[in-house]
Amino acid sequence: MESVNPSVGWGVLHLFYVVDRERAEEQPQAAKVVLDAVAALERDGHQALLFAVLGHKADLGVMVLGPDLARLQLFQTELAAAPLQLVDSYLSLTELSEYTSTEGDERARLHNEEGLTDDAEIEARLVVWRDRIAHYQEQRLHPKLPLKKTICFYPMAKRREADANWYALSFENRKRIMGGHARVGRTYAGRVLQLITGSVGLDDWEWGVTLLADDPVAIKDIVYEMRFDEASARYAEFGPFVTGLLLEPGEALARVGLSG
Protein backbone atom coordinates (compact mmCIF):
# COMPACT_ATOMS: atom_id res chain seq x y z
CA MET A 1 0.00 0.00 0.00
CA GLU A 2 1.53 3.30 -1.11
CA SER A 3 1.46 6.04 1.52
CA VAL A 4 -0.43 9.29 0.98
CA ASN A 5 1.27 11.85 3.19
CA PRO A 6 0.14 15.50 3.27
CA SER A 7 3.04 17.90 2.72
CA VAL A 8 1.90 19.81 5.81
CA GLY A 9 0.13 18.34 8.82
CA TRP A 10 -1.64 15.04 9.44
CA GLY A 11 -4.85 13.49 8.28
CA VAL A 12 -7.78 13.47 10.73
CA LEU A 13 -10.73 11.15 10.21
CA HIS A 14 -13.85 11.18 12.38
CA LEU A 15 -16.02 8.07 11.99
CA PHE A 16 -19.45 7.58 13.54
CA TYR A 17 -21.08 4.16 13.82
CA VAL A 18 -24.23 2.48 15.03
CA VAL A 19 -23.93 -1.07 16.30
CA ASP A 20 -25.57 -3.77 14.22
CA ARG A 21 -27.13 -5.68 17.12
CA GLU A 22 -27.95 -8.82 15.13
CA ARG A 23 -24.42 -9.14 13.80
CA ALA A 24 -23.00 -8.35 17.25
CA GLU A 25 -24.90 -11.29 18.75
CA GLU A 26 -23.49 -13.57 16.07
CA GLN A 27 -19.95 -12.22 16.49
CA PRO A 28 -18.88 -12.71 20.12
CA GLN A 29 -15.34 -11.50 19.37
CA ALA A 30 -16.51 -8.25 17.75
CA ALA A 31 -14.60 -6.01 20.13
CA LYS A 32 -11.36 -7.85 19.37
CA VAL A 33 -11.71 -6.98 15.68
CA VAL A 34 -11.77 -3.27 16.55
CA LEU A 35 -9.10 -3.50 19.25
CA ASP A 36 -6.74 -5.34 16.91
CA ALA A 37 -7.27 -2.66 14.25
CA VAL A 38 -6.60 0.11 16.79
CA ALA A 39 -3.44 -1.60 18.05
CA ALA A 40 -2.11 -2.07 14.52
CA LEU A 41 -2.87 1.54 13.62
CA GLU A 42 -1.03 2.84 16.68
CA ARG A 43 1.96 0.58 15.97
CA ASP A 44 2.14 2.34 12.61
CA GLY A 45 2.50 5.73 14.32
CA HIS A 46 -1.11 6.90 14.29
CA GLN A 47 -3.53 7.67 17.11
CA ALA A 48 -7.09 6.49 17.71
CA LEU A 49 -9.64 7.89 20.16
CA LEU A 50 -12.84 5.94 20.82
CA PHE A 51 -15.92 7.38 22.49
CA ALA A 52 -19.42 6.30 23.40
CA VAL A 53 -21.76 8.81 21.79
CA LEU A 54 -24.51 10.47 23.80
CA GLY A 55 -27.79 10.78 21.94
CA HIS A 56 -29.25 9.31 18.75
CA LYS A 57 -26.68 10.34 16.13
CA ALA A 58 -24.41 7.34 16.66
CA ASP A 59 -23.39 4.69 19.16
CA LEU A 60 -19.62 4.79 18.71
CA GLY A 61 -17.33 7.59 17.64
CA VAL A 62 -13.79 6.99 16.41
CA MET A 63 -11.28 9.74 15.77
CA VAL A 64 -8.07 8.68 14.05
CA LEU A 65 -5.18 10.88 13.05
CA GLY A 66 -1.69 10.53 11.71
CA PRO A 67 0.67 11.12 8.79
CA ASP A 68 -0.72 8.67 6.20
CA LEU A 69 -4.20 9.02 4.69
CA ALA A 70 -3.89 5.60 3.08
CA ARG A 71 -3.32 4.03 6.50
CA LEU A 72 -6.40 5.80 7.87
CA GLN A 73 -8.46 4.46 4.97
CA LEU A 74 -7.17 0.94 5.62
CA PHE A 75 -8.20 1.28 9.26
CA GLN A 76 -11.70 2.30 8.16
CA THR A 77 -11.85 -0.79 5.96
CA GLU A 78 -10.69 -3.02 8.82
CA LEU A 79 -13.53 -1.76 11.01
CA ALA A 80 -16.00 -2.90 8.35
CA ALA A 81 -15.36 -6.44 9.56
CA ALA A 82 -16.94 -5.54 12.92
CA PRO A 83 -20.72 -5.33 13.41
CA LEU A 84 -20.69 -1.58 12.91
CA GLN A 85 -22.64 0.50 10.41
CA LEU A 86 -20.92 3.73 9.37
CA VAL A 87 -23.51 6.53 9.55
CA ASP A 88 -21.35 9.64 9.24
CA SER A 89 -17.76 10.70 8.77
CA TYR A 90 -15.57 13.75 8.43
CA LEU A 91 -12.14 14.22 6.85
CA SER A 92 -9.77 17.09 7.60
CA LEU A 93 -6.08 17.93 7.99
CA THR A 94 -4.22 19.49 10.87
CA GLU A 95 -3.01 22.94 9.94
CA LEU A 96 -1.55 26.19 11.21
CA SER A 97 -3.78 29.23 11.35
CA GLU A 98 -2.83 31.92 8.87
CA TYR A 99 -3.77 34.43 11.58
CA THR A 100 -1.16 33.27 14.12
CA SER A 101 0.92 36.13 15.49
CA THR A 102 4.25 36.63 13.75
CA GLU A 103 7.50 37.64 15.38
CA GLY A 104 6.93 41.13 14.06
CA ASP A 105 3.51 41.18 15.76
CA GLU A 106 5.04 40.11 19.05
CA ARG A 107 7.85 42.65 18.78
CA ALA A 108 5.29 45.41 18.19
CA ARG A 109 3.18 44.16 21.12
CA LEU A 110 6.16 44.25 23.47
CA HIS A 111 6.88 47.80 22.42
CA ASN A 112 3.33 49.17 22.26
CA GLU A 113 1.59 47.27 25.07
CA GLU A 114 4.43 46.63 27.52
CA GLY A 115 6.50 49.71 26.75
CA LEU A 116 9.77 47.84 26.15
CA THR A 117 12.41 49.82 24.28
CA ASP A 118 15.66 48.07 25.20
CA ASP A 119 16.71 45.83 22.30
CA ALA A 120 18.40 43.29 24.56
CA GLU A 121 15.33 42.93 26.75
CA ILE A 122 13.07 42.62 23.71
CA GLU A 123 15.32 39.94 22.23
CA ALA A 124 15.33 37.99 25.50
CA ARG A 125 11.53 38.04 25.52
CA LEU A 126 11.45 36.96 21.87
CA VAL A 127 13.62 33.92 22.63
CA VAL A 128 10.92 32.73 25.05
CA TRP A 129 8.21 33.61 22.55
CA ARG A 130 9.91 31.59 19.76
CA ASP A 131 10.08 28.50 21.97
CA ARG A 132 6.42 28.89 22.92
CA ILE A 133 5.22 29.40 19.34
CA ALA A 134 7.31 26.45 18.11
CA HIS A 135 5.64 24.22 20.70
CA TYR A 136 2.22 25.59 19.75
CA GLN A 137 2.81 24.95 16.05
CA GLU A 138 4.02 21.40 16.70
CA GLN A 139 0.90 20.67 18.73
CA ARG A 140 -1.32 22.06 15.97
CA LEU A 141 0.34 20.03 13.22
CA HIS A 142 1.24 16.83 15.09
CA PRO A 143 -1.03 16.69 18.16
CA LYS A 144 -0.82 14.05 20.87
CA LEU A 145 -4.35 14.09 22.21
CA PRO A 146 -4.95 13.26 25.89
CA LEU A 147 -7.65 10.93 27.18
CA LYS A 148 -10.02 13.50 28.64
CA LYS A 149 -13.46 12.43 29.87
CA THR A 150 -15.59 14.08 27.17
CA ILE A 151 -15.21 14.91 23.50
CA CYS A 152 -17.27 17.10 21.20
CA PHE A 153 -16.93 17.41 17.42
CA TYR A 154 -18.64 19.75 14.98
CA PRO A 155 -17.90 21.15 11.52
CA MET A 156 -18.11 24.83 10.68
CA ALA A 157 -17.66 27.31 7.85
CA LYS A 158 -17.48 31.04 7.29
CA ARG A 159 -20.46 32.91 5.83
CA ARG A 160 -20.52 34.36 2.32
CA GLU A 161 -23.68 36.40 2.65
CA ALA A 162 -23.89 39.79 0.98
CA ASP A 163 -23.70 41.74 4.25
CA ALA A 164 -21.43 39.23 6.03
CA ASN A 165 -18.96 37.77 3.56
CA TRP A 166 -15.85 36.62 5.42
CA TYR A 167 -13.91 36.20 2.21
CA ALA A 168 -14.58 39.76 1.09
CA LEU A 169 -12.78 41.16 4.14
CA SER A 170 -9.14 42.22 3.98
CA PHE A 171 -6.55 39.93 5.59
CA GLU A 172 -5.82 42.61 8.19
CA ASN A 173 -9.46 42.81 9.21
CA ARG A 174 -9.83 39.02 9.33
CA LYS A 175 -6.70 38.75 11.45
CA ARG A 176 -8.00 41.40 13.86
CA ILE A 177 -11.31 39.57 14.25
CA MET A 178 -9.65 36.18 14.74
CA GLY A 179 -7.31 37.72 17.30
CA GLY A 180 -10.31 38.51 19.48
CA HIS A 181 -11.66 34.99 18.91
CA ALA A 182 -8.34 33.49 20.00
CA ARG A 183 -8.24 35.59 23.17
CA VAL A 184 -11.53 34.04 24.27
CA GLY A 185 -10.19 30.56 23.56
CA ARG A 186 -7.04 31.16 25.60
CA THR A 187 -9.11 31.83 28.72
CA TYR A 188 -10.04 28.12 28.62
CA ALA A 189 -6.44 26.88 28.57
CA GLY A 190 -6.12 23.88 30.85
CA ARG A 191 -9.88 23.25 30.81
CA VAL A 192 -10.57 22.65 27.12
CA LEU A 193 -8.19 21.32 24.48
CA GLN A 194 -9.18 22.66 21.07
CA LEU A 195 -8.07 21.09 17.79
CA ILE A 196 -9.09 23.03 14.68
CA THR A 197 -8.53 21.10 11.46
CA GLY A 198 -8.94 22.26 7.88
CA SER A 199 -11.31 20.61 5.41
CA VAL A 200 -11.67 23.16 2.58
CA GLY A 201 -11.86 21.07 -0.58
CA LEU A 202 -11.88 17.81 1.40
CA ASP A 203 -15.34 17.62 2.99
CA ASP A 204 -18.66 19.46 3.12
CA TRP A 205 -17.61 22.15 5.59
CA GLU A 206 -14.44 24.24 5.88
CA TRP A 207 -13.14 23.25 9.30
CA GLY A 208 -13.62 20.54 11.87
CA VAL A 209 -13.54 21.46 15.56
CA THR A 210 -12.70 18.85 18.20
CA LEU A 211 -12.99 19.83 21.87
CA LEU A 212 -11.68 17.66 24.71
CA ALA A 213 -12.42 18.33 28.39
CA ASP A 214 -12.90 16.53 31.67
CA ASP A 215 -15.86 18.75 32.50
CA PRO A 216 -18.61 18.91 29.84
CA VAL A 217 -19.67 22.28 31.25
CA ALA A 218 -16.37 23.71 30.00
CA ILE A 219 -17.24 22.60 26.46
CA LYS A 220 -20.68 24.18 26.71
CA ASP A 221 -19.23 27.40 28.14
CA ILE A 222 -16.48 27.88 25.55
CA VAL A 223 -18.88 27.38 22.64
CA TYR A 224 -21.45 29.68 24.23
CA GLU A 225 -18.94 32.45 24.97
CA MET A 226 -17.40 32.27 21.52
CA ARG A 227 -20.84 32.67 19.92
CA PHE A 228 -20.79 36.30 21.08
CA ASP A 229 -17.43 36.98 19.46
CA GLU A 230 -17.62 38.76 16.09
CA ALA A 231 -15.90 35.88 14.31
CA SER A 232 -18.78 33.59 15.26
CA ALA A 233 -21.73 35.94 15.77
CA ARG A 234 -21.40 37.57 12.37
CA TYR A 235 -19.38 35.21 10.20
CA ALA A 236 -19.72 31.58 11.34
CA GLU A 237 -22.04 28.72 10.38
CA PHE A 238 -22.09 25.52 12.44
CA GLY A 239 -22.90 21.94 11.51
CA PRO A 240 -24.21 19.18 13.79
CA PHE A 241 -22.56 18.59 17.16
CA VAL A 242 -21.65 15.09 18.35
CA THR A 243 -20.65 14.60 21.99
CA GLY A 244 -19.45 11.48 23.73
CA LEU A 245 -17.64 9.88 26.63
CA LEU A 246 -13.98 9.45 25.74
CA LEU A 247 -12.74 6.11 27.09
CA GLU A 248 -10.07 3.47 26.77
CA PRO A 249 -10.90 1.55 23.57
CA GLY A 250 -12.04 -1.63 25.33
CA GLU A 251 -14.29 0.29 27.70
CA ALA A 252 -15.81 2.36 24.89
CA LEU A 253 -16.67 -0.81 22.97
CA ALA A 254 -18.18 -2.44 26.05
CA ARG A 255 -20.30 0.68 26.66
CA VAL A 256 -21.89 0.37 23.21
CA GLY A 257 -22.47 -3.35 23.56
CA LEU A 258 -19.50 -4.96 21.78
CA SER A 259 -17.78 -7.77 23.67
CA GLY A 260 -14.88 -10.10 23.11
The string of pLDDT tens digits covering residues 23-45 is: 999 998 999 999 999 999 999 99
Look up 154 and say whether it is catalytic: yes
Q: Are 143 and 195 in contact (CB under 8 A)?
A: yes
pLDDT tens-digit series, residues 91-133: 999 999 998 888 888 888 888 888 888 888 888 888 888 999 9
- Coil vs helix vs strand at 169: coil
Q: What is the mean pLDDT of residues 133-147?
A: 94
Look at residues 235, 205, 210 and name the one whose alpha carbon lies nearest to residue 223: 210
pLDDT band at 180; cut points 50, 70, 90: confident
Query: Where along the chain do its domains lie?
Result: 11-95
Q: Given this model, what pLDDT does residue 183 score?
A: 87
Q: Are 219 and 256 in contact (CB under 8 A)?
A: no
Task: Quote the DSSP letter at residue 176.
Answer: H
Of all residues in the chain, what percent carry a pLDDT higher than 90?
81
- Of the listed 17, 90, 154, 188, which one is catalytic? 154
Q: Given this model, what pLDDT does residue 109 score?
A: 84
Q: Indicate the average pLDDT of the chain.
A: 94
pLDDT tens-digit series, residues 47-90: 999 999 999 999 999 999 999 999 999 999 999 999 999 999 99
Q: Are 10 and 202 in contact (CB under 8 A)?
A: no
Identify the CATH number of the domain defined by range 11-95.
3.30.70.1030
Bigger pLDDT: 1 vs 117: 117
Q: Given this model, what pLDDT does residue 24 score?
A: 93
Q: Are 87 and 17 in contact (CB under 8 A)?
A: yes
Q: Given this model, what pLDDT does residue 92 score?
A: 98
